Structure 1
Amino acid sequence: MSETKVKIRFYTIADFNEEEIWLRKEHQSGWKLVKMVPPCFYHFEKCQPEDVIYRLDFKNNGENADYMQMMKDYNWEYFEHCVGWLYFRKPAAEVHTENDGELFSDNESRAAMIAHVIKVRLLPILAIFLCAVVPNATRISAESVGNIIFSVICSILLVFYVYLIVHCTVKLKKLKDEVTIK
């Protein structure tokens, strides 16, 4: 049986580029990703160190046979699906042009994927924030220990959601602007 390890890393929906870079470095160090368990558990298997490009695509409706065949035709190995993200990899030695190392053939496709992430992941988070966290955070009172604990939890959620929404909104908008400018 081969050697395995689990690493814990947390990436937001806007950090997919950083995740790709990290996975590539892990593979260069002799650890290939074999499984991703939400929210942050990466299962690796020992392998020969190799420069392998990792790419993620967001398809919340699962794998489409035509899409998967197209990726296979372009020598992308599909190996994992996790919470709407499809994980692909390809040896860097097979990349001869800039487009060979990318899943998207044009910037419009990349911008459409980012817009899809915003619509399917970020907007629901915003809705939960506005409908559940904000109204409960306004009910803060210190009448009992239970209310104080509830108030602390709501305050932590409020700060977490504000950070998450601002971070993801700014980063996804920046990514979308970068690909539409090119």
Structure 2
Amino acid sequence: MKKVVRKLYFAWQIEEERAFLEDMAKQGWFLDKVRLGKYEFYQSEPKDVIYDMDFQIVNKKTIDDYLSLTEDWELADNYGAWFYFYKERVAGESESLYSDNDSKRQMFGRLLAFLGIVGLPLYINIFVIFPSQAPEDMQPFTFYYFFRIITVIFIILHGLSVLHVVHSYRKYRNHISQ
């Protein structure tokens, strides 16, 4: 039996997403497939499992090397550069995919670099395209008017995302290993 849950988590909400997935596993629902805001589960015997996620840009040549680094964990699914792993909870064993806070910090660093690359076209719009548009293009209800509004909304959302990821990056940089 399958179950679909629609829920949206952001990159800086890894702990909340982990708690959600672990709670579902305790109810007997295990992650089968993940997409943006959509989780598909299969039903089995309830277990106490640990989920963890990693953001890693890999290609077909390097994916086997990457997965060999996570040998104690099972891959549930991946969506883009996000990899979802799980393993049964064992007393005394680490409950994190990462061996230390520096590894977590590096993951958020990779995510920041990705956000920088993705956000570049937005900022080019602000500094290159917007100033070159004629004033009459700013009349309400024209294409360029709505284009500017949508671009500004995306820039605000992107900026908030970057701020949250920077906060997470600094949190792991400043704390000692758990």
Instruction: Specify the SS of the correspondent of 2:99.
Output: coil
Shift of 1:135: 5.2
Distance in 1 (CA, whole Å) between partners of 2:156 and 2:110 is 25
Backbone CA RMSD of aligned residues = 2.6
Name the structure 1 match of 2:141: 145
Counterpart of 2:104 in structure 1 is 110
Q: Which SS does the other structure have where 2:21 is aligned? A: helix
Structure 1: runs of 5 or more not aligned: none
Partner of 1:17: 15
- Contact preservation (8 Å) 2:2, 2:41: yes
Counterpart CA distance in 1 for 2:24 and 2:97 is 20
Give me the whole-angstrom Cα distance separating, in 2, the residues matched to 1:33 and 1:7. 10
**What's the CA shift for 1:144?**
4.5
1:130 aligns with 2:110: no
Percent identical:
25
Q: Distance in 2 between matches of 1:164 and 1:116?
A: 14
Which string of whole-angstrom CA distances, capped at 9 and with x for unpartnered residues, describes residues 116-174 of structure 1?
Answer: 2222x222244233223565666685424224433432342233223222222223322
Q: 1:177 & 1:128 partners in 2: Cα distance?
A: 32
For the residue of structure 1 that corresponds to 2:3, the secondary structure is strand
**Does the residue aligned with 1:145 lie in a helix, a strand or coil?**
coil
Q: How many residues align?
A: 171
Contact 1:78 1:86 in 2 (8 A): yes
Q: Distance in 2 between matches of 1:134 and 1:17?
A: 36
> 5 Å matches for 1:163-178?
163-178=160-175
Q: CA deviation at 1:115?
A: 2.0
> Which residue matches 1:71?
70
Q: For residue 128 of structure 1, what is the amino acid of its counterpart?
A: P
Q: What is the deviation of 1:103?
A: 1.8
* Structure 2 partner of 1:40: 37
Residue type of the alignment partner of 1:48: E
Task: Report the 3-state secondary structure (helix = DSSP H, G, I; strand = E; otherwise coil) of the residue aligned with 1:49.
Answer: coil
Q: Residue 70 of structure 1: CA displacement?
A: 4.4
Name the counterpart of 1:49. Answer: 46
Structure having the larger proportion of residues in helix: 1
Cα gap change, 1:6 to 1:133, in 2 (>3 Å): farther
1:25–1:135 CA distance, 2 compared to 1 (3 A): farther
Q: Distance in 2 between matches of 1:18 and 1:61?
A: 25
Q: 1:16 to 1:176 in 2, by over 3 A?
A: farther
Deviates more, 1:140-149 or 1:159-168: 140-149
Unaligned 5+ residue runs, structure 2?
none
